[in-house]
Amino acid sequence: MVGAVIAIVFNVLYPRADDPGSVAEIVGQSQSEGMWAFTHYALAWGVALTFIGLIVIARSFVGEPSASWGRVALIHAIGGALTLFLALVILGFAVKGAAGTDGGSAEEIAWVAGGLFLASIGLFFGFTPLFYGIAVLSGDEYPSWLGWTAIVAGAVAVLTGTIVYFDGFSKTTDKVLFPISSILFTVWVGAMGYKLWQKTSQPAATVGP
């Protein structure tokens, strides 16, 4: 749940560009935004802690077919978390560092980071919650609304990634669709963590003499 809180806070505080499709503006932001490096650093920690939560959630599915869907979801979470972590480190460290010495190379690096971020939209924010949602709905460990919440979050992210892939980043994808999908997914992780905490905090049944 800690990772979810960090991710939500710094997702809301993230300095989004006026023109998300302008690499030059993003490079300029890396120099003008005083919290640029720290924001990406904090988001990277949020991703790492959220990933730990996703591991625990995947292992909480005990019956079939939910357990198998949970493993499928975890595989996508591994690839998505790694991709997103790399994108955040490159944006927060490499782009900012390169911009201070050579703006041209900084823009090239920003394009690479943008590609990784696009991949993470599909993997981490898209297919990962979609498969977790299926896992929830195919079992009886959690209420069905948690399954549908994850599926909606994943579907919005897949739509966002598809639009970005063919048309590039825009205000609609950057300031509307992606925040909806990412915050919804993060809230879902927090809700699942709370449900798990409730399960583990329940007193064990005792057997009478």
**DSSP state at residue 21:** T
Q: Which residue has the higher pLDDT, 160 or 196?
A: 160
Q: Which residue has the higher pLDDT, 208 or 51?
A: 51
Answer yes or no: is pLDDT of 182 > 70.
yes
Q: Count how many residues are written for the chain.
A: 209
Q: What is the pLDDT of residues 152-170, one digit of tens each?
A: 999 999 999 999 999 989 8
Q: What's the pLDDT band for 209 if we cut at 50, 70, 90?
A: very low
Q: For residue 209, how far is the Cα from the chain centroid?
A: 50
120 token code pair: 């993470």
Instruction: Determine the pLDDT at residue 208.
Output: 43
Distance in angstroms (rounded) separating the CA atoms of residues 99 and 121: 25
CB 184, CB 8: distance < 8 Å = no
Q: What is the pLDDT of residues 11-34, one digit of tens each?
A: 666 777 777 777 777 878 777 777
Q: What is the pLDDT of residues 85-131, one digit of tens each?
A: 999 999 888 887 787 776 568 888 889 989 999 999 999 999 999 99
146: left (phi over 0), alpha (psi -120 to 50) or beta: alpha
Residues above pLDDT 90, as percent of the chain: 49
CB 90, CB 113: distance < 8 Å = yes
Residues contacting residue 67 through CB under 8 Å, at least 6 positions apart: 61, 135, 139
Q: Which residue has the higher pLDDT, 77 or 12?
A: 77
CB 132, CB 57: distance < 8 Å = yes
Distance in angstroms (rounded) separating the CA atoms of residues 126 and 182: 9
Distance in angstroms (rounded) separating the CA atoms of residues 113 and 119: 10
Q: What's the pLDDT band for 2 if we cut at 50, 70, 90?
A: low
Distance in angstroms (rounded) separating the CA atoms of residues 130 and 95: 32
Answer yes or no: is pLDDT of 142 > 70.
yes
